[in-house]
Chain A
Amino acid sequence: MSEIVIAGVGGQGTVLASKLLAKAALLEGHAVRTAETIGMAQRGGTVLGHVRIARENNYGGARTGSHSDLPLSPLVSAQSADLLIGFEPGETVRALPFVRNGGAVVTAMQTLVPAGAAASSIVQGYNGAAELAYLQGCQTTGRLGSLMVVDGVAACSRLGSFKALNVLLLGAALATGSIELSEQALLAAIDALVKPQFRELNKQALAQGMSLLAAQGDLEETRS
């Protein structure tokens, strides 16, 4: 059983990220349940994707009439996520209560300043430093088993597209070993779900994300 929460802001491509995870899990023969935020809340609001993967076929299939050990809820419960992938530091912290003690977090470093805040308070204190410090504190105390901070802007600039942050973060999470899926399965999921003209970009993003782990130490130093 692996439980993953994906947290971001409407427009960041969280839905595709969770679809890719779910598709890869299906391709590997696992059972999957997911839930997404869709609709008005998406317009620049907080979006959460839930992905629950279990190692059995026939996940909750025909057995709703009896008690099986396979979960039926599409949502990850509080303090049960093995992995949280955050697309924005504030959203990562907001979703932290989903993570189980000792769980893993992969988060993008850069903040997205809410539109309302930009309009109402010209001086913005929100730069993600406090959020990342808090996450690091969580790791120090053992609340988190692992934390990886990704410089999404640098990596996306190298890729030449800011739309690939989602798959980049998936790659980073995959490299940490906190997703029990193979790279092949995720590549196959990209083939299955992404339009031909974007496949190459997404595969590069996955590879780029996977290669970031080694450089994590440097990234943490350059943050702020």
Chain B
Amino acid sequence: MSRELCMGNQALALGALKAGINVAAGYPGTPSSEILETLDVQVKARGLTALHVEWSTNEKAALELGFGASLAGARALVTMKQVGLNVASDALMTLPYLGVKGGLVLVVADDPGPISSQTEQDTRQFAGFAKVPVLDPSTPEEAHRMIQSAFDLSEWHATPVIVRPSTRICHGAVGLDTSYDYVPHAVSGFERDPRWVIFPRRTYEGHLELLSRLSAIAADFSASPYNALINTHATAPAHQGIVAGGISYAYLHDALLQLDDLASLRLFKCGTPFPFPQTLALQFLEGLREILVFEELEPVLEREFLQLIGRHQLKVKVFGKLSGHANLAGENSVSLIARQVEALYGDNGFAPPLDVTPQTSTGSGSNPAAVAPDLPARAPVLCAGCPHRASFYAVKQALKGRPAVFSGDIGCYTLGNALPLDMVDSCVCMGAGFTVPQGMQWAQPDVLHLGFVGDSTFFASGLTGVVNAVYNQAQVTLCVLDNATTAMTGSQPHPGTGIRLGTHRAAQESTDVAGGESGTNAEGAADGEDAMGAGGATSAADTKGALDIPAVLRALGVRHVAQVDPFDLKAAQEAVREAVSHSGVSAVVFKAPCITVAPPQTRRGVDPGLCSACHKCIREIGCPALIVTSEKKARIDQALCYGCTLCAQLCPTHAIQPLQAAKGGGAA
């Protein structure tokens, strides 16, 4: 047995392989992306030609494709982050009415905090809304087992099933036996049946079917190994219990290790929040007078208990989010749960709560000798050499002094919002960067309206917005920030690159294009591939089948389409001026690769003799490689500079010059 350090996402991928999946599809989204990347690595390393893995254009496409595979009798895995489920929801809402044939499992990763998401929505709640069973792992190893069970469950009950890990499960790691046999599920083939076609009559029948299916699953869940009643043999006082689901169970478990007298508490670990295992819950409630519920995001378990207790007219008080005894938003933690348990049940002789102030370093009395200094805030920024910085700067300069609104979208380029660029005025969701400016323009036509969408986002959700603008003749300029990858989620390929996952992908194992010492600002420092490697970096090697963005825009009816290299500052500014002067829909494609998929260019350095200390470079573009020396001159951090030339192009005294060695070490 080989025990490797495995991220939850890798554990999920290995579990899916053990389940013999035939098809896997998804759209990148933190924290879910490494699942498909791990499958991709395994398919190539082990030559698993029977398994099709793909990045689909968006989550809706991935889920529908997964359903198609299931109809053919295959086992299909579909992965996404929580907001991706919003995109896929059109299909998801209907699937339980139709049912499935081969196992269809969605992994939908939630992001309490949130750590990198636009909402704190709860997939358990979405699952209840869509009437799809959901499994909620408390550790990566449990996620590994759950995904295997999920395929069986899906086939036994002919329903899609959701596994819902949260960020700390996805990106938490544990030593795991990584050996597996991949035995592809036997594909039985499609059989025609009227029940695969949704019609109002079928919907009514399907509705009744799925409700009775859910009761059967709820009964099964009461005996599920993912649920547990713990310490039921406790002696007095046996009237207090605690419920925890998902990662909150892990936190509760550890909190109780710190607190004395845990034997007097009865615990209910819930790994199957929907359909709720009522029988088991009633068993848990026997003899209890108070329960405290821990879960992240929505009070899903808490509401189930309130309902159950109401229906059975039990005398049990329920404490949790709704009563103000647990966190309403954000993540839980061991310390928080320890404090909250103590606050409610503390008169039972628990140890006093830990004195915890995790977010601030001042006070707390632990260091009477000194007061912690104020620390500089460290907001995320665009990488040194990021092409988005150049694109935003070109637009900003081109339209200086003219009233304009810049609508942004989801991706690294949302960071264009930060000073000094300050070029993202709104950001809602995938694709909105092209549609929000249209609405604004109809309301406020005397202002220039530009929308910014990344290349991956363009294909995922931008196309309909382009069609809408053309059809309705909106006066907008659509900017595509084409950096040849899906950067923010870890450099996944997309339709514009032509690079595909799995065995379809051309042989180009050297995904580390940058090579050498290049590293990237995004955690590339002397980094290595671990054995389970989740290295899905794109390469420019194989571009067969790549969709050409300007051609797509033209085909969709955009009359004025320009493509420029944003690092050619003059040309880029000219292209922007020309585009906004065009009547009707115009488009500018800013094309230059992300630093995670392109090698560094000749690094730049500042000639201190020529630098007039005007700080224009620092003030205007905010490249993290640009710093100020003690002599107030600009200096370039050679470990960070990617040689993009942007700063050199705006330096009034031409003090910024190329350094001789392009590919040498990072020595200053």
- Additional A-B contact list (17), CB under 8 Å, known A13-B523, A43-B415, A161-B665: A11-B522, A13-B527, A34-B173, A43-B521, A46-B378, A62-B141, A65-B228, A67-B262, A71-B253, A72-B250, A77-B354, A79-B354, A94-B375, A113-B627, A162-B639, A165-B525, A198-B526
Chain A residue nearest to B169 in the complex (CB) = A74
| Leading 9 A-B pairs by shortest Cβ distance | A13-B525, A74-B172, A137-B370, A115-B624, A72-B250, A194-B528, A39-B30, A78-B356, A130-B373
B residues in contact with A214, CB < 8 Å: none
A residues in contact with B517, CB < 8 Å: 161, 163
Count of A-B residue pairs with CB < 8 Å: 292
Could you say which of B254, B376, B383 contacts A117, with CB atoms under 8 Å apart?
Answer: B376
Chain B contacts with A in 620-634, Cβ cutoff 8 A: 622-624, 626-628, 632
Confirm or deny: A217 has a beta carbon within 8 angstroms of a beta carbon on chain B: no
CB <8 Å contact, B230 and A71? no
Chain B residue nearest to A11 in the complex (CB) = B521
B residues in contact with A162, CB < 8 Å: 639, 666-668
Could you say which of B257, B377, B522, B665 contacts A71, with CB atoms under 8 Å apart?
Answer: B257
CB <8 Å contact, A39 and B357? no
Confirm or deny: A101 has a beta carbon within 8 angstroms of a beta carbon on chain B: yes
Knowing A43-B380, A73-B334, A131-B373, the reply to whether A193 touches B4 (Cβ < 8 A) is no
B431-458 vs A, CB cutoff 8 Å, 1 = contact: the mask equals: 0000000000000000000000000000
CB <8 Å contact, B334 and A75? yes
Chain B residue nearest to A77 in the complex (CB) = B334
Confirm or deny: B514 has a beta carbon within 8 angstroms of a beta carbon on chain A: no
A90 smallest CB distance to B (angstroms): 5
Could you say which of B253, B375, B381, B420 contacts A67, with CB atoms under 8 Å apart?
Answer: B253
A residues in contact with B372, CB < 8 Å: 93, 96, 134
B633-668 vs A, CB cutoff 8 Å, 1 = contact: the mask equals: 000000110000000000000000000000001111
A41 smallest CB distance to B (angstroms): 6
A residues in contact with B357, CB < 8 Å: 78, 97
Confirm or deny: B507 has a beta carbon within 8 angstroms of a beta carbon on chain A: no
A117 smallest CB distance to B (angstroms): 5
Knowing A65-B225, A73-B251, A195-B528, the reply to whether A113 touches B333 (Cβ < 8 A) is no
Bound state CA distance, A137 and B366, in angstroms? 11
Knowing A93-B373, A116-B622, the reply to whether A43 touches B412 (Cβ < 8 A) is yes
Chain A residue nearest to B527 in the complex (CB) = A16
Chain B contacts with A in 188-243, Cβ cutoff 8 A: 225, 228, 230-231
A23-39 vs B, CB cutoff 8 Å, 1 = contact: the mask equals: 10010000111111111
CB <8 Å contact, B172 and A34? yes
Could you say which of A64, A131, A157 contacts B667, with CB atoms under 8 Å apart?
Answer: A157
Bound state CA distance, A167 and B268, in angstroms? 43
Bound state CA distance, A209 and B188, in angstroms? 59
Which applies to chain B's interface (DSSP): helix, strand, loop or mixed?
A: loop
CB <8 Å contact, A67 and B370? no
Q: List 23 A-B contacts (CB under 8 A).
A: A11-B520, A11-B640, A16-B528, A22-B175, A38-B171, A40-B415, A43-B412, A43-B415, A65-B228, A65-B269, A74-B140, A74-B250, A77-B254, A78-B333, A78-B335, A78-B357, A116-B622, A118-B622, A119-B420, A122-B618, A124-B628, A162-B666, A162-B667
Bound state CA distance, A17 and B250, in angstroms? 25
CB <8 Å contact, A45 and B380? yes
Confirm or deny: A208 has a beta carbon within 8 angstroms of a beta carbon on chain B: no
Could you say which of A42, A67, A96 contacts B523, with CB atoms under 8 Å apart?
Answer: A42
Confirm or deny: B91 has a beta carbon within 8 angstroms of a beta carbon on chain A: no
Could you say which of A33, A101, A166 contacts B174, with CB atoms under 8 Å apart?
Answer: A33
Confirm or deny: A12 has a beta carbon within 8 angstroms of a beta carbon on chain B: yes
Chain B residue nearest to A36 in the complex (CB) = B171
Knowing A26-B3, A35-B171, A141-B368, the reply to whether A116 touches B262 (Cβ < 8 A) is no
CB <8 Å contact, A26 and B175? yes
CB <8 Å contact, A40 and B116? yes
Number of interface residues of B (CB under 8 A): 100
CB <8 Å contact, A11 and B523? yes
CB <8 Å contact, B254 and A73? yes
Bound state CA distance, A119 and B639, in angstroms? 19
CB <8 Å contact, B667 and A161? yes
CB <8 Å contact, A141 and B138? no
B503-543 vs A, CB cutoff 8 Å, 1 = contact: the mask equals: 00000000010000101111111111111000000000000
B residues in contact with A166, CB < 8 Å: 525-526
Bound state CA distance, A119 and B628, in angstroms? 9
CB <8 Å contact, A161 and B253? no
B58 smallest CB distance to A (angstroms): 19
A107-144 vs B, CB cutoff 8 Å, 1 = contact: the mask equals: 00000011111111010101000110110011011010
Bound state CA distance, A179 and B492, in angstroms? 36
Bound state CA distance, A67 and B628, in angstroms? 55
CB <8 Å contact, B379 and A116? yes
Could you say which of A43, A47, A124, A140 contacts B381, with CB atoms under 8 Å apart?
Answer: A43
CB <8 Å contact, B369 and A59? no
Bound state CA distance, A91 and B627, in angstroms? 19
CB <8 Å contact, A67 and B230? yes
Chain A residue nearest to B410 in the complex (CB) = A40
B291 smallest CB distance to A (angstroms): 18
A residues in contact with B139, CB < 8 Å: 60, 64, 72
Bound state CA distance, A10 and B563, in angstroms? 32
A69 smallest CB distance to B (angstroms): 7
CB <8 Å contact, B334 and A37? no
Which of B116, B526, B619 is packed against the most chain A CB atoms within 10 Å?
B526
A residues in contact with B340, CB < 8 Å: none
CB <8 Å contact, A167 and B230? no
CB <8 Å contact, B370 and A133? yes
Confirm or deny: B31 has a beta carbon within 8 angstroms of a beta carbon on chain A: yes
CB <8 Å contact, A118 and B628? yes
Confirm or deny: B472 has a beta carbon within 8 angstroms of a beta carbon on chain A: no
A residues in contact with B335, CB < 8 Å: 77-78
Knowing A46-B378, A59-B174, A78-B357, the reply to whether A38 touches B370 (Cβ < 8 A) is no
Bound state CA distance, A36 and B527, in angstroms? 14
Confirm or deny: A219 has a beta carbon within 8 angstroms of a beta carbon on chain B: no
B483 smallest CB distance to A (angstroms): 14
Confirm or deny: B367 has a beta carbon within 8 angstroms of a beta carbon on chain A: yes
A residues in contact with B526, CB < 8 Å: 13, 16, 161, 163-164, 166-167, 194, 198, 201-202
Bound state CA distance, A65 and B419, in angstroms? 49
B342-360 vs A, CB cutoff 8 Å, 1 = contact: the mask equals: 0000000000001111111
